[in-house]
Amino acid sequence: MNGGNLFSVLLSTIRSRFSAITSKVRLWTSWNFIQSRIITRIRQFFTKLFDVKPKNKDDYYTFFGWMVSKKLARSIIILLGVVSIWYIVSVKQVFAGMGSNGGIRTYSYDSLQLRLAKDQVRILGKSGYLAYEGQVAKGYVTGVGTLYTPDGAVLYNGNFTKNLFEGAGKLYFPSGAVHYEGNFHNNLYDGAGKLYRESGSILYDGNFVRGQKSGEGKLFGENSSLVYEGQFAADDIVYASFLGKSTAEARDSYQGGRRVWQGTDMYCVYMNDIGAMYTGKADANNLNDEVMIDSVYVISDSFPLGVGRTDELKDIRSFFGDPIYEGNSAAILPEAVVINILNETHPSFNGKVEMRSSKPFSDVTIVDAVDENYSVYLTSFVNNGLIYTFVSEGRDGKFEFYCISAAGDSVG
C-alpha cells in the first residue's frame, strides 16, 4: 500500500467518525427538534403538575383537620399565578394613555373589560380610530356621548341608550354641518326635530314618527324662508288638508311661489315649491266671493302605500280594490295645466295640451278653451271619504300624477 492510499483510508475513517457527530449537531439545532423537545418538556411538566394523586401521608398538608394534597395545592397556586398574569396583561390597555387622554380610560371595541366599565370612556374602532367618547353602563353605550367616523368627523352627538340614539341629539353630514337636531327613538327621528340642508339652511321644523315627517310641521325653502305650514304623514305633506279651505286659508298654509290659471268657472293655483295644485270654483253663496278648494292635484308619479311608495297602477288597484271609475276622458282644465307643467321639464303624455288663453300678468293665465280632443286615462278609487284619481296614458303601467277630492264631488 503506498502513501497516497494510506492517506485516503485515514481521511475516509475520520469523515465517517465525524459524520455521525455532524448529523447529531444538525438534528439538535433544527427548529423542529427544538420545538418538539419544548412541547415534550411542557407536556411532562403539566402531566407531573396535575398528577395530584398522593402516594403516602407525607404528600398531604393538614389544615384544621383537613388533609389537602401538596401537589394539588401547588397546582392551584401555579394556575392562579398564570391567571393573574393573563389578567394583568389583558387589562394593561385600561391604563394605557391615561395621562395623555386626561385620565379617561380607553378600550378596544371588543375588549372584555369594556363590559365592566362605566361612566366616561373612549372606545377605539376595529382599525384603531377613536369611534366613541362618552358614557357607558353595563357593557352598553348609554348616556351622553359623541360618535365619530373612521376619518375623525363627528357623526352623532347626544344621548344613547344601549348603543342606540335615544333622546335629544344631533346628527351630522360628513362635512361637519348639522343634518338633524332633535329627538331620537331607536336610532330614528322621533318627536320634535329640525332637518337642515348641508348648506346650513333649515329644511323642516316639526314632528317626526319613526324617522319620517309626521304631524304638525313647517317646510322651508333654500333661503330658509317658510314655504308650507301644516300636516305631514309618512314623510309627505297631507295634501288632502287643503280640501274645504278657502284660497285665503290656503295662502296661510302655503307661502311659496304660485302660478294661477283661471277658466270660465274654475281656478287652478300651482304651488311651485311643494309640487301640487289646488282647484276651486267661486261660491255664489259666499259674500266675499271667496274660492273654496274642492280638489288637489299632486304632481308626483309615486304614491305612499304603507311604509313604501309605488308608481304602478297594479299596486294601486291591489291597495284600494276595485275602482269606481276607469276609462278614457277628455282632459279638463286642471289636468291640462298639470300635463303642460310636466312637459316643461320632460316629454309627457302626447305633448302639451293646446289652450286658447291670455296672460294679463306673468304668473296669471286666463283660459278661454282647452283642446277637447286631448284624451287621458283616469282610474278612480274611494277611500276614507276621499276620491283618488290617477291620471295615466293607459290602463296598465305607471301613472303620471293623481288628484284628491271629496267623495261628494264629481270625478274627472
- Give the count of domains, the chain: 3
Bridge partners, residue 159, by sequence:
144
Q: Which of 186, 206, 233 is the last residue of a domain?
A: 233
Looking at the domain assignment, is residue 104 inside a domain? yes
Looking at the domain assignment, is residue 42 inside a domain? no
- DSSP three-state, residue 30: coil
Residues 254 and 372 in one domain: yes
Residues 183 and 199 in one domain: yes
Residues 102 and 200 in one domain: yes
Domain carrying residue 148: 93-233
Alpha-carbon span 179 to 352, nearest angstrom: 40
pLDDT tens sequence for the chain (412 residues) = 555 566 565 556 656 655 666 666 666 667 777 777 777 777 776 666 555 566 566 666 666 666 666 666 677 777 777 777 766 655 554 444 443 455 789 999 888 888 888 889 999 999 999 999 999 998 899 999 999 999 999 999 999 999 999 999 999 999 999 999 999 999 999 999 999 999 999 999 999 999 999 999 999 999 999 999 999 999 999 999 999 999 999 999 999 999 999 998 899 999 999 999 999 986 655 545 678 999 999 999 999 987 789 999 999 999 999 999 999 999 999 999 999 999 999 999 999 999 999 999 999 999 999 999 999 999 999 999 999 999 999 888 899 999 999 987 554 4
pLDDT tens sequence across 313-349 = 999 999 999 999 999 999 999 999 999 999 999 999 9
Bridge partners, residue 111, by sequence:
none
Residues 219 and 252 in one domain: no
Looking at the domain assignment, is residue 1 inside a domain? no
What nine digits make up the cell of 220? 322651508
Q: Which of 233, 253, 283 is the last residue of a domain?
A: 233
CATH number for the domain that contains residue 174? 2.20.110.10
Q: Are 398 and 392 in contact (CB under 8 A)?
A: yes
Looking at the domain assignment, is residue 412 inside a domain? no
Q: Are 260 and 236 in contact (CB under 8 A)?
A: no
DSSP string, 93-135: HHHTTTTTTTT-EEEETT-SGGGG--EEEEEE-TTS-EEEEEE
Q: How many alpha carbons fall within 13 Å on the CB side of residue 40?
A: 6
Looking at the domain assignment, is residue 22 inside a domain? no
DSSP string, 264-316: SS-EEEEEGGGTEEEEEEE-TT-TT-PEEEEEEEE--S-EEETTEEE-BHHHH
Residues 251 and 382 in one domain: yes
pLDDT tens sequence across 232-280 = 999 999 999 999 999 999 999 999 999 999 998 899 999 999 999 999 9
Looking at the domain assignment, is residue 5 inside a domain? no
Residues 179 and 204 in one domain: yes
Residues 6+ apart with CB under 8 A from 62: 68
For 54, other C-beta atoms within 10 Å of its C-beta total 14
User: First CA to last CA across the chain, in angstroms?
Assistant: 130
Looking at the domain assignment, is residue 13 inside a domain? no
Alpha-carbon span 403 to 336, nearest angstrom: 13
Q: How many alpha carbons fall within 13 Å on the CB side of residue 252?
A: 7
Q: Compute the CA torsion angle 42, 43, 48, 53 (nearest 10 deg).
A: 140
Residues 108 and 135 in one domain: yes
Q: Are 325 and 412 in contact (CB under 8 A)?
A: yes
Q: How many alpha carbons fall within 13 Å on the CB side of residue 20?
A: 4
Q: Which of 90, 117, 142 is the last residue of a domain?
A: 90
Alpha-carbon span 70 to 84, nearest angstrom: 21
Looking at the domain assignment, is residue 220 inside a domain? yes
Residues 381 and 246 in one domain: yes
Residues 282 and 244 in one domain: yes
Residues 247 and 178 in one domain: no
Residues 57 and 168 in one domain: no
For 381, other C-beta atoms within 10 Å of its C-beta total 21
Residues 78 and 180 in one domain: no
Residues 6+ apart with CB under 8 A from 238: 230, 231, 232
The CA-atom distances, in angstroms, between 155 and each of 131, 149, 182 are: 10, 6, 15
- By DSSP bridging, strand 119-124 and strand 105-108 are parallel
Alpha-carbon span 123 to 10, nearest angstrom: 74
Alpha-carbon span 292 to 284, nearest angstrom: 11
Q: What residue has cell string 348616556?
A: 143
